[in-house]
Amino acid sequence: MLHLIALVIIITLLLSWLLIFSYLFKSVISNMAGMVIAMTLGMIVGLSTGTITSILYPTAFFEMTVISMLIGLVIGVISGYPFSLAASLEGLMAGIMGGMMGTMLGVMSAPETFIQLLRVMSLLTVAIFFLVYLLQIHEINKVKMKKNVLFQPLAYFFVVFLFIISFHTYSFPANISIIDDSTHGHASHNNIMLHATEYNFHPKDIRVPSNEEITFTSTNSGSQEHDFVIKEAGAHIHTSPGTTNSQSVIFTEPGNYQAICSLPGHKEAGMVTTISVVSTE
């Protein structure tokens, strides 16, 4: 959750910076550029808000759509306001559209892709903010030829660069709580669905919280016998072809565990899955 909050704060700060720039230099930014700025900011804010809110609260699809449309609308109007009524109107429409599309994207995506979706959306948002900033600088420099460091895109680019790096270094530890929803028909975080075939497990990477009961349900979609064994946790789920079996375990120690199929040669053929047990504290 912390990463998500940090992400929202960073995006809000960057957005504020752009808005302040628009208000400070509204006299030198052309109306045409103003309309593009309003449209772009309204749309991307609506889109990312919609995606994030619908991932967090997929059961409240209608409410999240309305909220995202409102946020996109407000940001669009604020972005266009310094320039002209037309720019505000354009921002308003783009914000509504972005909010609507963002929530649909979030709801239609499979829970397994949530983390990637959040990464893509946040990188896209920051990259588009950067383009808007370049447009502002371009407009301002046409008239003022500022030499101030603030008017060099390099400083901003550096912030963006750090952001992207930090993003790929840390994953979202919050992803478990995000995916805690059964309305998608997929597994909630304490209920892991597995598929065993020749010779593979799906999914390949599993993240579960420590000190909570985790139920592994293994379905054998293959044509041979398979099992699912986590030695350290005492888990052993045997399945004949076409059958499904479950077992519940509790991981007391955070860390990486290996789950394998113990039938001769199956592990070597690829029936291995990594289980990351993360502390919930």
| Interaction site with Cu ion (CB under 5 A) | 226, 261, 263, 266, 271
**Which lies closer to Cu ion via its Cβ, residue 73 or residue 259?**
259
Cβ distance to Cu ion smaller for residue 207 or 266: 266
Residue 146: which residues within 8 A CB-CB, separation 6 or more?
140
From the CB of 266, what's the least distance to Cu ion, in Å? Answer: 3
Contact yes or no for 251/146 (Cβ under 8 A): no
150, 122, 86, 85: which is closest to 4 by C-alpha? 122
Task: Name the residue nearer to Cu ion (CB basis): 48 or 217.
Answer: 217
Among 99, 12, 102, smallest CA distance to 55 is for 102
- The distance of closest approach from Cβ of residue 261 to Cu ion in the complex, given in angstroms and rounded to an integer, is 3
> Which tokens hold the place of 216?
């592994």
Kindly give, in sequence order, each residue whose CB lies less than 8 Å from that of residue 230, ignoring residues fewer than 6 positions away: 249, 257, 258, 259, 275
> Cβ closer to Cu ion: 110 or 269?
269
Q: Which C-beta is closer to Cu ion: that of 207 or that of 226?
A: 226
How near is the Cβ of 218 to Cu ion at its closest, in Å?
A: 10
- In the chain, DSSP assigns E strands to 191-197, 200-202, 205-209, 213-220, 226-230, 235-239, 244-250, 255-260, 272-278
Q: Which CB atom, from 263 or from 272, has the smaller least distance to Cu ion?
A: 263
- Shortest distance in whole angstroms from residue 260 CB to Cu ion: 9
CB of 238 to Cu ion, least distance (A): 10
Picking from 262, 216, 222, the residue whose alpha carbon sits closest to that of residue 242 is 222
Q: Give the number of residues written for the chain.
A: 281
Report in angstroms how near the CB of residue 259 gets to Cu ion at its nearest.
11
Say how far apart CA 226 and CA 79 lie, in whole Å: 59
Closest to Cu ion by CB, 133 vs 228, is 228
> Shortest distance, CB of residue 255 to Cu ion, whole angstroms?
24
Give every CB contact of residue 270 below 8 A, 6+ residues apart in sequence.
Answer: 199, 200
Report cis status (omega within 30 of 0) of the bond before 199.
yes
